[in-house]
Amino acid sequence: GQTTPASPMLRAILLAAAVASASAFSLAPMGAAPAMRLQPANRAARSPAFAPKMSADGFVPDMGRRNLMNALLTGSIAGPILVLPAVLISFLTPAKSGGGGGGLVAKDALGNDVKVDAWLATHPAGARALVQGLKGDATYLITSEEGKLENFAVNAVCTHLGCVVPWNKAANKFMCPCHGSQYDKNGKVVRGPAPLSLALAKRGDADGTVVLSFWGEKDFRDGSDPWWKK
C-alpha cells in the first residue's frame, strides 16, 4: 500500500524538538566574557606570617607585642602629663644653695652662679650691679669703698609701683625713671612718691658663691622693723 505522509502538525513538533536539542549542546559565542562569580576567600591561602596561630592553651604569640606597643603608647601620653607639673614647680621655685643657711644662690644676667672673686674682678669699689635675688627680684650687689662686697644687698623694685630702679652713679642715688622716686646709696627713700625704702637682703657666701637670704633684723638705715615679708 501507499505510505501516508506525516501530518503538518507532526512535522512541526519534530522540528522544534531538533532545534531544542541542538541548542543544548551549542558553544558560547567567541569573544563573550564568561560571567564572573564571587568566591569566598580561601583562608588556607593566607600568608603564615599574618595568620595568628593559637596554641593549645589559647595563647596568641603576637599578643605580647601588642601589649608592649599599648604600654609604650600609654606611657608616651601619660608621661609628659605627669612630669609637667613637677617641671613647672621646679622652674618657678628658685634653686637654693646647699650652704649659706638655706639662702638663695645669686645668678648673673646669663643665669650663672655669681662667684665672689670673679664679681669683684669686674665690679670695682663703689659699684652697684644687678643680680637675680630672692623671689627672682632684681637685686643690687654693692662693692664697698674697700673693694669688698657689702654684707647686704638692695632690692631694685621701687616701692611705689614696682619699676626697677637704676643706679645713677653721677647723682650717687637710685633714681626711678617712672615717677621720680629717689633712694640714697643704700636704698633708703629720700624722695617720693615711693612710701618706703628699698627692701634689704643678707649677703653671704658658700664656697666662694654669693648667697642671698631674708633680712629679718631691724633696718639699719632708719632703725625700723622690716616692712618686707619672707
Rounded mean pLDDT of the chain?
77
Distance CA 213, CA 205 (A): 10
Question: Would the pLDDT of 4 be above 60?
Answer: no
Span of 16-25, 171-180, 183-192 with lowest mean pLDDT: 16-25
- Residues 135/208, Cβ–Cβ less than 8 Å: no
pLDDT higher at 4 or 126:
126
> Residue 17 forms beta bridges with which residues?
none
Distance CA 230, CA 225 (A): 13
- Residues 103/212, Cβ–Cβ less than 8 Å: yes
Percent of the chain with pLDDT over 90: 54
Residue 122, C-alpha cell as written in the block: 669686674
Among candidate residues 123, 204, 197, 127, the one with its CA nearest the CA of residue 165 = 197
Residue 105, C-alpha cell as written in the block: 644662690
Which pLDDT band, with edges at 50, 70 and 90, does 138 fall under? very high
Helices marked H in the chain:
8-24, 63-92, 116-122
Percent of the chain with pLDDT over 70: 61
